[in-house]
Structure 1
Amino acid sequence: MASKTLHIFFSLLLIQNHVSAGQDAVRSAYWFPGSGIEAKAIDSTLFTHLFCAFADLDASTNQVIDSPANSGPFSQFTQIVQLNNPNVKTLLSIGGGKANNADYASMASQESSRKSFIDSSISLARKYGFHGLDLDWEYPETAAQTANLKLLFNEWRAAVAADAQATGKPALLLTAAVFYKPKVNGVDYDIDSIANGLDWINLMAYEFYDPTRSSVTKSHAALYDPAGDDHISCDDGVADWIKAGLSQKKLVLGLPYFGFAWRLQDANNHGLEAPASGAVGADKGVMRFDEIKAVLNSATDVYDETIVTNYCYSGTTWIGYDGAGTISTKASYAKQKGLLGYFAWHVAQDDDDWTLSKEAQKAWGA
C-alpha cells in the first residue's frame, strides 16, 4: 500500500509540473452531434484542440455516461478529426447548460460520488481515445458548491496522475468551461485548485445580454466596456481572473459563433442601446453566424471598434454578433494579453467557408 501511494504521489508531482509548465497555444472549438455538421465535415486543420460535447451524469450512480444516440459519434470522434490533422487533440466535455445543476452539486458533495464521477470519466475517455476531459458545470451556486468543486478538481488531477502511472499513457488533459469572471452567483471559484488541477479554463465570455434580459439593444460579447459602470466585457473578465491570481496562461477566451436578434421599437433608431421589444424568432433570438451572414445581403452592417462588436439592422430587426473583424480582433487580443488561446462555441455555427475559424487562426499567427 505504501509503495502504491508513493507511486501515485510522485506521479502527481510530475503531472503538476506538467500543468505548471503550461500547454502550447490552444486554438479550439466545441462540437456536438446534432449541431448541424458531422464530425467528418470539421476542418480540423484550423484547430489544435476539439471538444466533443456532451457526456452526461447519471444522477443515480454519479457516473459519466454517453447516451445511446451519442455513443457512435463519440467513439469515432478522435479518429475522424485526426484524419485531416493527426496532431489535433480531443477532449470529452461533460455537462453543458443549466438543467442539471442539482445533480452536479450532489455528485460533488461526497467523496464517494466524486470518485464514481472521476473514475467513470477517465474510463470513458480512455475507451474512446480522447486526450482529455472537460467539465461544463453552469454554474456553482453556493460557497459549499465551490468548495466541493475545489475537491473535485484536486481529486480528478490525482486520479489522472494515477491513471497515467498505471497505463504508461500520457496524462489526460483536464479543463473546465467557467463563467467569464472568477465570481459567479456571488461566490468565488477556488483559484489554487484551478491552477494546480486544470490545464486551463475556457472563459464563456458571451451571452452578457440577450433580448429577454434587456429593453435596449446590446452587444452580448463586447471585448471592451469603456463607458460602462458594470464592467461587463471580455476584457473585464480576463482582468478579474488575473487579478484573482490565475496566470494568463491558464485562460482561454471564448469566441461566440452566434448572435441575438432583437425587435427594434423604431426602425429609424437602430444603433447600440436602441429601444427594443424582445427577440425576433424563437430561443431568445439566437442566430448562427452562417444564418446571420445570409441576412447581411439585405441589411446594413456596422463594426463598432470602440467596444469591438458587429451589428446589423434591416427594418425593425437588429442583430448583434461577432463578425470576421471582431473575431480577428479578439484572437489578436488574446495573444497580445499572453492568454493560452481561444475556443469557439460552436464550430458548426461557422459558415461553409470557415470564415470565423480562419480569421481567428490567421490573427493568432498560426
Structure 2
Amino acid sequence: MCTVPRLFLGKFKKGSGWNKPSAEKPASHKPYDGPDGFSVGTYYSNWSPYEARDHKPTDIPVNLLTHVYYAFFVVDAKTGAVKSSDSWSDFEMPMSGGTKGCIKELQKIKLNSKHEFRSILCLGGWSNREAYKKIATSEKKVKTFIRTAVECMFQYGFDGIDLDWEFPEEGTNEPAVYLEMMRGIREGMDELELQIFGPAESDNDRLHFQLSVATPAFGEKLNILPISEMSNYVDIWNMMCYDFHGEWSEVTGYHTNLYVQGHSRKRNSNSRVSDSTLSSDAAIKIMTEKHKIPARRLSLGMAAYGRGFTNVESKDETYIGKKFHGVGGASEGEPGIWLYNQLPIENTEEQFDASAVSAYCYDSKQRTFVGYDNTRSMNVKGKYIKTMNLNGGFWWESCGDSKDPNKSLVNALRKEIEPSEGFVSLFKHKQVQDHHLQKYPQDYISDLFQKF
C-alpha cells in the first residue's frame, strides 16, 4: 500500500487559481529519462472490438509501436476506486485461442512479441471527467483512487498508468488534487518497485513503472496546472494535440494542425476550447518555453480521425473560419467524427494545407468540411518530432488507422522516426512475474506467466 501525503485540500481561494502548497516531502522519484530513440504509441479503446469498429488487440500493429495505451478504466465517483468501464470487453469477450477479454489478449501479445512494447492503463477520459471532480472534495476517496490505481495496474499486467482528467478547473482545489494524485501514484509505483527489485544503487539502475499524463494542448487549461511540481513525477506528457475545433466551435477549423490557421473568432463551451491560435507547435512551446519541461518528456498527439462541419457557409473555395450548421459524422456514436479510414468522404478529393499541416476534404453537395491527419502530415510531424527532439508521438486511436499499408498513419510516421527498442515490458522480467504470482496466484492473467 502506498503512503499518500496529506492532500492540500482547501489551499484554493475562489478565483485565485492554483496556490503553490508547501512541500511536505521531496519527490522520491526522478522521472525516467527513457531509452534512446523515440516512442511511438497508440491508444486502444475497450469499445473498439465491438461490431461497429471490429478492431481487436490482434489488429494493433504492435511491431511498429513502443506503447499501447489501454482506455479506459474509470473512477467510481461514490468511492474513488478505479474500476473497469466495460467488464465484458475487458475480461470476458472471446478472443483468439480461447483467451477471454481484451486485456488478457493484449498482455498475451506483449509477452509473446519479439518486438518490445509496453502496455499502459489509462484512467478517466472525457466521459469520466465528473467523477474526478466529485472525488476531489474527499481526501478518503482520493487515497482510495491512488491505492486502487496502482493495484489495478499491476494486477492486470500493465507497465504503467496514464492519467486523463479533462480538465481540472481554475479557482478550485482540483489542480492541487491532481498533483497529489500524481505524487501518490508515483510513490505507490516506487514502493512496488522496491518490493519487486529491492534497493537500487541509483534511480536509473531500477526498472520503472511509467507514469504519463494525457495533457491539454492549450494554454487556457495548461497554465492553471502546477506543471513544474507535476514534472517531479511524470515520465511522459502525452500532449493531446487534437480537437482544436469541433461542434463546440463558432466557426470551422482544423482540429489537429501542426501550425496556426487563419481566423480569430472563438467560443468556449462545455470546457472545450476553440481558437485559431491553437496548434500542436504552440502547445509544445508552452510546455518547453513557459513551463521549462524538457522536450524529451513530451509526446506529440495526433489523430486517427477527422472532425467535420456541415452546411458550411462558404461562397468560394475556402472553408476555414466559416459559419456552419451541424457536424455530421460517419463514426457510430460520435457526432462530427469520421475515422481516418473513412476519409476522404466518397466522391471528394483529399487536399492538404501545407502551411497549417492538415489534410482536409470538402463535399460540395452536403457542404461538409472535414479536417484530419494523413500520411503527408505524418511526414511533416515525424520531421518535427526529430527536429524538436521530442519523446515521440502517439495517436487517438488505433481503430481509426487504415489497413492499407500505403495509407497507414503508423507506417507513414515509421518512415520518419524509428521506434526505440528500449521500452521493454516489466512483465518480461522473472522478478515481476514471480511477484505477481505471489500476490495473485490464480488471478485473471496469472496463467500467462505460468506458460511464459
1:235: which partner in 2? 281
2:382: which partner in 1? 331
2:200: which partner in 1? none
State how far apart, in whole Å, the 2-side matches of 1:84 and 1:46 are: 12
User: Superposed, which structure 2 residues align to 1:260-271 within 5 Å?
Assistant: 260-265=307-312, 269-271=316-318
Residue 353 (structure 1) aligned with residue 404 (structure 2) = yes
2:77: which partner in 1? 59
Amino acid corresponding to residue 238 of structure 2 in structure 1: N
1:277: which partner in 2? 325
Structure 2 length normalisation: TM-score?
Answer: 0.72
Residue 92 (structure 1) aligned with residue 127 (structure 2) = no
1:307: which partner in 2? 356
Q: Which residue among 216, 226, 234 is the counterpart of 1:179?
A: 216
User: Displacement, 1:281?
Assistant: 3.7
Instruction: Tell me the percent identity.
Output: 24
Amino acid corresponding to residue 326 of structure 1 in structure 2: S
Residue 68 (structure 1) aligned with residue 68 (structure 2) = no
2:416: which partner in 1? 363
User: Displacement, 1:183?
Assistant: 3.9
2:40: which partner in 1? 27
The count of aligned residue pairs is 349
RMSD of the TM alignment (CA)?
Answer: 2.5
State how far apart, in whole Å, the 2-side matches of 1:276 and 1:65 are: 39
Work out whether residues 328 and 359 of structure 1, in 8 Å CA contact, stay in contact via their aligned partners in 2: yes
User: Superposed, which structure 2 residues align to 1:27-46 within 5 Å?
Assistant: 27-35=40-48, 36=53, 37-46=55-64
Q: Which residue among 216, 219, 227 is the counterpart of 1:191?
A: 227
Amino acid corresponding to residue 313 of structure 1 in structure 2: Y
Cα deviation, 1:307-360, whole Å, max 9, x if unaligned, reads 111111232222211111012211221221111111100011001125101111
1:209: which partner in 2? 245
Amino acid corresponding to residue 278 of structure 1 in structure 2: G
Judged with a 3 Å threshold, the aligned counterparts in structure 2 of structure 1 residues 175 and 326 are, in CA distance, closer, same or farther, namely same
Residue 133 (structure 1) aligned with residue 186 (structure 2) = no
Work out whether residues 182 and 241 of structure 1, in 8 Å CA contact, stay in contact via their aligned partners in 2: no
State how far apart, in whole Å, the 1-side matches of 2:263 and 2:286 are: 16
State how far apart, in whole Å, the 1-side matches of 2:34 and 2:301 are: 19
Q: For structure 2, which runs of at least 5 residues remain unmatched after alignment?
A: 1-26, 92-100, 198-205, 265-275, 420-452
Amino acid corresponding to residue 87 of structure 2 in structure 1: P
Residue 247 (structure 1) aligned with residue 294 (structure 2) = yes
1:117: which partner in 2? 145
Q: For structure 1, which runs of at least 5 residues remain unmatched after alignment?
A: 1-11
Judged with a 3 Å threshold, the aligned counterparts in structure 2 of structure 1 residues 313 and 120 are, in CA distance, closer, same or farther, namely same
Relative to its length, the structure with more strand (as a share) is 1
Work out whether residues 55 and 95 of structure 1, in 8 Å CA contact, stay in contact via their aligned partners in 2: yes
Judged with a 3 Å threshold, the aligned counterparts in structure 2 of structure 1 residues 267 and 23 are, in CA distance, closer, same or farther, namely same
State how far apart, in whole Å, the 1-side matches of 2:181 and 2:312 are: 48
Amino acid corresponding to residue 151 of structure 1 in structure 2: E
Work out whether residues 182 and 244 of structure 1, in 8 Å CA contact, stay in contact via their aligned partners in 2: no
Judged with a 3 Å threshold, the aligned counterparts in structure 2 of structure 1 residues 237 and 268 are, in CA distance, closer, same or farther, namely same
State how far apart, in whole Å, the 2-side matches of 1:314 and 1:65 are: 42
Work out which structure has the larger RCO, using CA pairs closer than 8 Å and 6 or more positions apart in sequence: 2
SS in 2 for 1:278: coil
Amino acid corresponding to residue 343 of structure 1 in structure 2: F
Q: Which residue among 124, 131, 145 is the counterpart of 1:103?
A: 131
The 10-residue stretch of structure 1 (152-161 or 169-178) with the greater mean CA deviation from structure 2 = 169-178
State how far apart, in whole Å, the 1-side matches of 2:245 and 2:294 are: 27
SS in 1 for 2:246: coil
Q: Which residue among 243, 250, 255 is the counterpart of 1:220?
A: 255
Judged with a 3 Å threshold, the aligned counterparts in structure 2 of structure 1 residues 34 and 231 are, in CA distance, closer, same or farther, namely same
User: Displacement, 1:235?
Assistant: 0.7
SS in 2 for 1:133: strand
Judged with a 3 Å threshold, the aligned counterparts in structure 2 of structure 1 residues 82 and 299 are, in CA distance, closer, same or farther, namely farther
User: Displacement, 1:288?
Assistant: 0.3
User: Displacement, 1:197?
Assistant: 0.6
Amino acid corresponding to residue 195 of structure 1 in structure 2: S
User: Displacement, 1:85?
Assistant: 4.6
User: Displacement, 1:55?
Assistant: 0.5
SS in 1 for 2:68: strand
Work out whether residues 308 and 329 of structure 2, in 8 Å CA contact, stay in contact via their aligned partners in 1: yes
Work out whether residues 212 and 279 of structure 1, in 8 Å CA contact, stay in contact via their aligned partners in 2: no
SS in 1 for 2:257: coil
Cα deviation, 1:195-230, whole Å, max 9, x if unaligned, reads 111111111111111144233x31111111165665
Work out whether residues 305 and 339 of structure 2, in 8 Å CA contact, stay in contact via their aligned partners in 1: yes
Work out whether residues 228 and 291 of structure 2, in 8 Å CA contact, stay in contact via their aligned partners in 1: no
